[in-house]
Structure 1
Amino acid sequence: MGSYPDTVNLLEHLRSKSQIDCDSLDIQQLGPFVDCTSNQADSYLELLVPQRKAILERSAALGWQLRSEYPGVKYEQLAVEIAMVNLSLTITPLITGAIHVMSNPTLTSTSEIVDNAQRIASLCRQLAPNFDMSRLCIKVVATWEGLQACKRLTALGINTLATTLFTMEQAILAGEVGCIYIAPFVHELKAFFDATYDDGGPNLNLCLEAQNYYKERKCVTRVKAAGLLDAGEAKQLAGVNSMTVAPELLRTLSKTEEPKIDVTDSSIFERDTKATEQTIEVHSFMNDEKKYREAFARSYGGKGAWKTQEAIGIFCEYQIKAEALLRESNVTSTEH
C-alpha cells in the first residue's frame, strides 16, 4: 500500500516561518497573534457592530470632554483617534506584541502628521496609564511627507510603520528614517472593497526584495506583508518577517491541510535569494527629495505612485465616515 505524504496545517506552518499578526479589530479571532494592525476602515466598520456601542459612545463623550486639551483639533478628528485607540486597547490582552494605530490619512504635511502621532500616543497614555508604550506603533502613509514625519517620530521614541507602500523607493526611505516596519501591499487596496476589480495580480517580490535589502544593510526595519487575498499568496510569503492576515483568510488557513513538501516548495523565501534582481538603482534618498520624487514617480511605470494615492484616498474616505459616525453619536448622546 502506498503511504500518504506528510501534511501540514497551513496556519501552523506559516507561524513556524513568519510572525503572524491579525489584520482586524475583531477580538473573536484565531490566535495566538503577535501584533494587531488596524486602519480607518477597520475602525469604522468595528464601531458599527452593536457590541462596540459602548466604546463608540464613550469615545464620543470623551472627545467632547478633552477638546480643550487639544486646541486646533476638530472634535470629530479627536473623537475618532480616541475610538481607534480604545478599540486597539481591547486587543492588547490577546496579543504578545504591538497595537498598530493608523494616523489620520487626510493630513498631508509632515508637521501635521507628527502632531497627530504624538496626540495618539498621548491619548494612549491617558486611556491606559499602565500600558507599555513600546507596544504602540503608529502607521503612517508612505508619502515623502509621511516618511519625514517617521524620521521625527523615531527621534522622539515613537515607533512607526510605513503603510500604503508599493515600491522599493518607499521601502528604502522607510529604512533610512527608522521605521520599525513597512507594510508592502500585495494587492491594491481597492481589491478588498470591490470584488469585481482586477488589479492585475499580486506583487509578492517586493516583500522579498525589501527584506533582502534590509538584511544586507543591517536595517532595523522589518517587512510586514499586508493585503493578502488567498492562501496561495500566504504560502509563497512563508519566511517573510511577518504578515498581517484578515479574519476570512485566517479561517481558510486554519482549515487547510496540504502536503508538507508542496507547501515548503511554494515559498519565494526558500529559493536562492541571491538570484533576486534589484529593480532600481540603490542609493540614499534621505536628504534628496527631488531624486526620491523622480524615482518614485517612475517606479513600476508610474503605477506605484498611483496605487499609493488610491489607497490613501480609500483610507481618507473611511476617516470621513468615522468622523461623521462619532459626530452623530455625540449629538445623539447630548440630546438625551
Structure 2
Amino acid sequence: MNQLDQLKAHTIVVADTGNFKQMAQFAPRDATTNPSLILKAVQQPDYAPLLTDTVAAHRGAALDEIVDQVLVRFGLEILKVVPGRVSTEVDARLSFDTAATVARARRLMALYEAAGIGRDRVLIKIASTWEGIQAAAELEREGIHCNLTLLFSFAQAVACGDAKVQLISPFVGRIYDWYKKQAGAQWDEAAMAGANDPGVKSVASIYNFYKKHGIATEVMGASFRNVGQIVALAGCDLLTISPDLLAALQATDAPLAPALSAQAAQAMNIPALSLDEKAFRWAMNEDAMATEKLAEGIRLFAVDAGKLDKLIAESK
C-alpha cells in the first residue's frame, strides 16, 4: 500500500490546489484554495475560460463582487471532484476589519447557496488575526463554518478554540522556513527533521492541547515543504497537501504509522488556557516568528488578490 493510502487510514487528506483537473487522481476528501493558488490557476490555458466566462456573466458588477463570483466558480468546480468541503478565502486586505470580513463571508456563502451548495460543504478562510478570529466567532454562531488560516502560534490556536471555529490551518512549512533562515549556517537539517521540525512541533502541541481539553476545532496541518513533515503529523485531523507532495506519497510504499493520537493527548499534562484580546496581542508580540509570518502571509495574499483584481478588470 502506498504512503498516501496509508495516510488516509489515519488522517483526512485535503488537496491544496486550485487545479481541480489534477485533483481527482489523488482522491482527496476536501480541497483548499487561496488567492495565490487561484491566481496561478486562472493564468493556465485550461482555466482561463472559467475566468472570462464568469467576468462576462457579471459585466457591470463591482470588481469585488466579480472576484467573489470567480472564487466561488472555482469552488463549485472543485466540489464536483471532492466529496467533502472546499475552503474559499475572504480578501486578505480585510484581515483587520471584523465587520467587512463578516460581510464578505456572508456574500461568499450566499453565492454558494444560490448555486445549490449547502453550508456543510464550504469553509470560509480567514486570516488568524484577532479581528479575523472575532469575525469567525460571529460567523460560526450563524452556521457559517470557517477555516482560520495563516496560523503560526499557539496563541492563535487558543483564540480560535475559544471562538469555536470549525477548523484551523497551522502552517508547518512557513514556520520551518523562519527557523531555518534564523539559524543560517548553524541549521542542522537531519537534527531538525521529523518530530523535531519546528513546524511539526507547533502543530503537534496545538493538536494535543485541543484533544486534551475537548476542543472540537479541527486541526489541519498546511504548507508542507517535504514528505517527512507530513509523515511526522500522520494522525492529525486533516492535512492539506500540494499535488507534488501527494504524488511523492503515492510513489512510495514505505511504512507510515500515526504519530499523533487523541488518546495519547488525553493522558498528557497540558494546562487549560484561554486568551482575551490583551493576552492574545501580548503573546503574539512575544512571538517574533508568528508576528512576522502572519504579516508576511497577509501581504503576499494581498499582492496576489491585487493581481487577480487586475486580471479581472482587464477582462471586463
TM-score normalised by structure 1 residue count: 0.83
Contact 1:20 1:245 in 2 (8 A): yes
Query: Equivalent residue of 2:172, what SS?
Result: coil
Alignment counterpart, residue 15 of structure 2, candidates 18, 22, 34: 22
Query: Equivalent residue of 2:59, what SS?
Result: helix
Alpha-carbon distance change, 189 to 151 in structure 1, aligned in 2, over 3 angstroms: same
Query: Equivalent residue of 1:44, what SS?
Result: helix
Separation (CA, whole Å) in 2 of partners of 1:147 and 1:76: 26
- What is aligned with 1:147? 133
Give the letter aligned to residue 267 of structure 1.
A
The structural deviation recorded for 1:275 is 8.6
Separation (CA, whole Å) in 1 of partners of 2:267 and 2:202: 14
Alignment counterpart, residue 64 of structure 1, candidates 59, 70, 82: 59
Separation (CA, whole Å) in 1 of partners of 2:55 and 2:253: 45
- What is aligned with 2:32? 37
Separation (CA, whole Å) in 1 of partners of 2:240 and 2:175: 14
Alignment counterpart, residue 283 of structure 1, candidates 273, 292, 308: 273
Contact 1:36 1:91 in 2 (8 A): yes
Alignment counterpart, residue 100 of structure 2, candidates 112, 125, 128: 112
Q: Which digits, 9 at most, give the CA deviation of each residue in 1:139-188, with x for residues without a partner?
A: 00000000000011011110001100000100011111121110000022
- What is aligned with 1:293? 281
Separation (CA, whole Å) in 2 of partners of 1:146 and 1:230: 29
Query: Equivalent residue of 2:91, what SS?
Result: coil
Give the letter aligned to residue 21 of structure 1.
V
Separation (CA, whole Å) in 1 of partners of 2:41 and 2:105: 21
Is 2:83 aligned against 1:91? no
Separation (CA, whole Å) in 1 of partners of 2:301 and 2:88: 13
- What is aligned with 1:70? none
Alpha-carbon distance change, 190 to 205 in structure 1, aligned in 2, over 3 angstroms: closer
- What is aligned with 1:171? 157
The structural deviation recorded for 1:269 is 5.0
Alpha-carbon distance change, 117 to 308 in structure 1, aligned in 2, over 3 angstroms: same
Separation (CA, whole Å) in 1 of partners of 2:182 and 2:88: 26
The structural deviation recorded for 1:273 is 4.5
Gaps of 5+ in 2: 184-196
Query: Equivalent residue of 1:313, what SS?
Result: helix
Give the letter aligned to residue 235 of structure 2.
G
TM-score normalised by structure 2 residue count: 0.88
Q: Work out the number of aligned pairs and report it.
A: 299
Query: Equivalent residue of 2:239, what SS?
Result: strand
**Equivalent residues in 2 for 1:120-139 (5 A)?**
120-126=108-114, 128=115, 130-139=116-125
Gaps of 5+ in 1: 1-7, 68-74, 192-196, 331-336
Contact 1:59 1:80 in 2 (8 A): no
- The percentage of counterpart residues that share the same residue type is 26
C-alpha root-mean-square deviation of aligned residues, in Å?
A: 2.4
Give the letter aligned to residue 4 of structure 2.
L
Contact 1:187 1:199 in 2 (8 A): no
Is 2:299 aligned against 1:313? yes
Contact 1:231 1:252 in 2 (8 A): yes
Query: Equivalent residue of 1:51, what SS?
Result: coil
